[in-house]
Amino acid sequence: MGNSIPQGDPPGKNARAAGKSGPACTFCGQRITGESLESSNPCEYCSSLSGGYLHPVILREAIAGSASGYVEGATYPQILLSITRFLLDKDDDKLCGIATILAHMACEVAIERSLSDSFARKGIQSLEESVADVLNGYNLANDKVRNLYTSLTGDEIQAQPFWGNFIRSAKRRDNVIRRGFIVSRADAEESFKAANDFLAHVAR
């Protein structure tokens, strides 16, 4: 897991100081000297492979790259999944957790859109807001949300081959958000594939 962080000032203090005097390592907060923002050299302090990047730089580059790939007709789930792929391609395991979160965000955005379209097709748009108030998000790993989705669309999505991987990935995402779970590259790739298969199915 890389070198341990040497004892000294807490990372938060270093990050605050670096904000005034120059860029800081994304993860340990130590000031980066003599590196361009495009550099992917490991941080000399904590060995993070994204030590040469700031989060805003990574996200700006990811969003710009994803958006430029879709001149017209892009959907939000497609762009979110493209950003997920960008983060995984950075080859920094510390980005695997946020990539997993983004993959599931793409799925939930797709389901919200699908439900909205279904309400409209059935001529019951007036119920959409009331139902949304009752739901706790749009994660189909939640039985209540999935039952509503199946009732409105007729799609027995839980019978699809990717469903087992999707459920495992949804639990992984919850562990990242609630417990700070560290996601391995293999697991993050599984989450990406599950989300990709999920979105391909929902978009049929």
Question: What integer pLDDT is reported at residue 60 of this predicted model?
Answer: 57
Domain with CATH 1.20.120 in the chain: 60-202
Contact by Cβ (8 Å): 51, 45:
yes
Determine the pLDDT at residue 105: 95
Helices 55-68 and 76-89, interaxial angle, to 10°? 130
Task: Identify the pLDDT of residue 190.
Answer: 97
Per residue of the chain (204 residues), what is the pLDDT tens digit?
Answer: 444 333 444 333 333 333 445 555 554 555 555 544 444 455 554 555 444 444 454 555 665 555 455 445 568 898 899 889 988 988 788 889 999 999 999 999 999 999 999 999 989 988 888 888 888 889 999 999 999 999 999 999 999 999 999 999 999 999 998 888 889 999 999 999 999 999 999 998
- Beta-carbon count within 10 A of 2 CB: 13
Query: If one looks up domain 60-202 in CATH, what number appears?
Result: 1.20.120
Q: pTM for this one?
A: 0.68
Residue 135: closest CA among 144, 127, 124: 144
pLDDT at 151: 94
- Residue where the block lists tokens 């495009």: 38
User: What Cα–Cα distance (Å) separates residue 143 from each residue in 14, 93, 184?
Assistant: 45, 31, 27
Task: Report the pLDDT value the prediction gives residue 54, as an integer from 0 to 100.
Answer: 43
